[in-house]
A and B are shown apart, each in its own frame.
Chain A
Amino acid sequence: MNEMLPITKDSDICRVLTCLPEKFVVDFANGIDVARDHQRVQRANTGFGARLYDGFTGKGKRRQDEVNASLIDGMEASLTWLTELSGSLAQSNLAIARVNDRVNALKLDVARIANFSAITRQQLETLTTRLDEHLDTLGREAARIDFVQRVQLNLDQVFNKWRAGHYQSFSLSGRCYAALEELRWGAFGDYCRNTSATDRQRFMDDLANRAMAQLASDAGLSSKERMGTRDHWLIRPVGQHVLSDASDALAYMGDWSDRESVPFVFSVSQLPDDLPRELPRLSSAQRVAEAMVYEVLGDNSHA
Chain B
Amino acid sequence: MHEINIELLREEAQRLLQVEIELLEKMQNEPGVISEARKGEQQTFDRTSIPKHIEVLQGELAKLEGLEMVLAVVGTMKAGKSTAINAIVGTEVLPNRNRPMTALPTLIRHTPGQTEPLLKFNNSHPINDLISTLHNVIQSPQSKEMLQGLDSNRDMDELLSLITNQTLFNQTYQGADAIFGFLKNLNDLVRLSSELEVDFPFSSYDEIHEMPVIEVEFAQLREMDQAHGRLTLLDTPGPNESGQQHLRKMLKEQLSKASAVLAVLDFTQLKSDADAEVRKELEDIASVAEGRLYTLVNKFDQKDRHGDNEEQVKAFVAENLMQGLIKKADVFPVSSRWGYLANRAKHEIFLHKRLPDPEKQPWIVDFAEEAFGRRWESKINDIEEVQHAAEQLWQDSLFSKPMENVIRSAHARAAAFAIDSAAAKLVDNAEKLENFLGLRETALAKSSRELQQQIDALMSDIGRIESSEKTTQRQINDTLSSISESTSKVFEKIEKNSLDALNEYFKEGKRIERAHAAEKKSRQKKQPAPGIKSTFGAFFSPFFNLENSFEQGDHDFNPENPIIRCENSKESKTLMNRIEKSVEGEMKHAENTMQEAMAALLNDFNVNFKNDVVISAQKIINDMKGRMTDDGFSVNIKIPSINSVSLGFSADEMLQDIIQKKTETVIYRRRQKGAWGGVCKLFGTKDWGFENYEEEENYFEIDIRKVKESVTAGIAKTFDGLGNSVTEYIEQPLKKGTAEFFNEFKSKIEQIRGDLLQSIRDQEHSKSEQAALSKRLASLKKNVPATLHDSRELKADVRPLLNAEAQVLA
Contacts and interface: CB of A to CB of B under 8 A. Distances in A.
Nearest to A279: B15
A284 B794 CA distance: 12
B12 A291 contact: no
A282 B786 contact: no
Q: Give the secondary structure class of B's interface.
A: helix
A282 B18 contact: no
Interface of B: 1-2, 4-5, 8-9, 11-12, 15, 18-19, 22, 783, 786, 789-790, 793-794, 797
B2 A225 contact: yes
A227 B789 CA distance: 15
A124 B794 CA distance: 56
30 contacts: A226-B2, A226-B793, A227-B2, A228-B4, A228-B5, A228-B8, A231-B8, A277-B18, A277-B19, A277-B22, A278-B19, A278-B783, A280-B12, A280-B15, A280-B786, A280-B790, A281-B8, A281-B11, A281-B12, A281-B15, A282-B4, A282-B8, A282-B9, A282-B790, A282-B793, A282-B794, A282-B797, A284-B793, A287-B789, A287-B790
Contacts of B4: 226-228, 282
Find the residue from A221, A227, A280, A287 having the highest chain B CB count within 10 A: A280
Contact of A282 (B1, B12, B22): B12
Contacts of B11: 281
Contacts of B2: 221, 225-227
Interface in A201-230: 221, 225-228
Find the residue from A226, A277, A287 having the highest chain B CB count within 10 A: A226
Nearest to B796: A226
Nearest to A280: B790
A277 B786 CA distance: 12
Contacts of B783: 278
B786 to A, nearest CB: 7
A214 B559 CA distance: 94
Nearest to A276: B15
A282 B7 CA distance: 11
B310 to A, nearest CB: 37
B426 to A, nearest CB: 12
Interface residues on A, range: 10 to 19
Contacts of B19: 277-278
Contacts of A226: 2, 4, 793, 797
Interface in A235-256: none
Contacts of A228: 4-5, 8
Interface string A88-103: 0000000000000000
Contacts of B18: 277
Nearest to A219: B2
A282 B786 CA distance: 12
Q: Give the secondary structure class of A's interface.
A: mixed
Given A226-B793, A284-B793, 15 more contacts: A221-B2, A226-B797, A227-B2, A228-B4, A231-B8, A277-B22, A278-B19, A280-B790, A281-B11, A281-B12, A281-B15, A282-B8, A282-B9, A282-B12, A282-B790
Contacts of A225: 1-2
Contacts of B5: 228
Contacts of B22: 277
A277 B15 contact: yes
Interface of A: 221, 225-228, 231, 277-278, 280-282, 284, 287, 291
A14 B540 CA distance: 101
Contact of B786 (A221, A278, A281): A278
Contacts of B8: 228, 231, 281-282
A50 B790 CA distance: 40
A227 B786 CA distance: 16
A178 to B, nearest CB: 23
Nearest to B794: A282
Nearest to B2: A227
Contacts of A280: 12, 15, 786, 790, 793
A273 B790 CA distance: 21
Nearest to B790: A280
Nearest to B12: A281
A4 to B, nearest CB: 38
A226 B11 CA distance: 14
Contacts of A277: 15, 18-19, 22
A291 B1 CA distance: 23
Contacts of A278: 19, 783, 786
A277 B22 CA distance: 10
Find the residue from A221, A278, A282, A284 having the highest chain B CB count within 10 A: A282
A52 to B, nearest CB: 34
Contacts of B790: 280, 282, 287
A282 B15 CA distance: 11
Find the residue from A221, A227, A291 having the highest chain B CB count within 10 A: A227
Nearest to B797: A226
Find the residue from A227, A228, A277, A291 having the highest chain B CB count within 10 A: A228
A291 B786 contact: yes
A288 to B, nearest CB: 12
Contacts of B793: 226, 280, 282, 284, 287
A299 B8 CA distance: 31
Nearest to A224: B793
Nearest to A221: B2
A281 B18 CA distance: 13
Contacts of B789: 287
Nearest to A275: B15
Nearest to A232: B2
A284 B8 CA distance: 14
Find the residue from B5, B9, B22, B786 having the highest chain A CB count within 10 A: B786
Which 7 pairs show the lowest CB-CB distances between chains A and B? Answer: A281-B12, A227-B2, A280-B790, A281-B11, A228-B8, A282-B12, A225-B2
A225 B793 CA distance: 9
A225 B797 CA distance: 9
A277 B783 CA distance: 11
A282 B793 CA distance: 9
B810 to A, nearest CB: 15
A222 B4 CA distance: 15
A284 B790 CA distance: 10
A221 B2 CA distance: 8
Contacts of B786: 278, 280, 291
Contacts of A287: 789-790, 793
A146 B40 CA distance: 61
A280 B426 CA distance: 14
B136 to A, nearest CB: 61
A282 B4 CA distance: 9
Contacts of A227: 2, 4
A198 to B, nearest CB: 15
A221 B1 CA distance: 8
Nearest to B13: A281
